[in-house]
Amino acid sequence: MRGDPVHRRCAVVTGGAGFIGSHLARRLLEEGYAVLCVDNLITGSRHNVAELPSIGPFRLIHADVTQQLRISADVDAVFHLASPASPTDYLRYPLETLAAGSAGTRNTLGLAREKQARYLLASTSEVYGSPGVHPQPESYWGHVNPIGPRSPYDEAKRFAEALVTAHRATHGTSTAIARIFNTYGPHMRPDDGRAVPTFITQALRGSALTLTGDGSQTRSLCYVDDLVEGLLTLHASAVPGPVNLGNPHEVSMRDLAALILRTTHSASPLTFTNRPEDDPDRRCPDIAYAREHLGWGPKVGLEEGLERTVAWFRSTIGTHAESAEAL
Domains of the chain: 10-184+223-248+284-299 (3.40.50.720)
Contacts of 155 (CB under 8 A, 6+ apart): 98, 101, 144, 146
- pLDDT of residue 325 exceeding 90, the answer is no
Mean pLDDT of the chain: 92
Strands 183-184 and 10-14 come out as unpaired
Query: For the whole model, what pTM was predicted?
Result: 0.92
Give the pLDDT mean for 157-179. 98
Share of the chain above pLDDT 70, in %: 95
Q: Has residue 138 got a pLDDT over 70?
A: yes
By annotation, the residues acting in catalysis are 153
Rounded to 5 degrees, what are φ and ψ at 247?
-105, 120
User: What distances in angstroms separate CA 29 from CA 179, 296, 317, one per listed residue?
Assistant: 23, 21, 28
Length of the chain: 327
pLDDT(10) > 90: yes
Whole-angstrom distance, CA of residue 89 vs CA of residue 191: 10
pLDDT at residue number 318: 53
* Average pLDDT for 229-254: 97
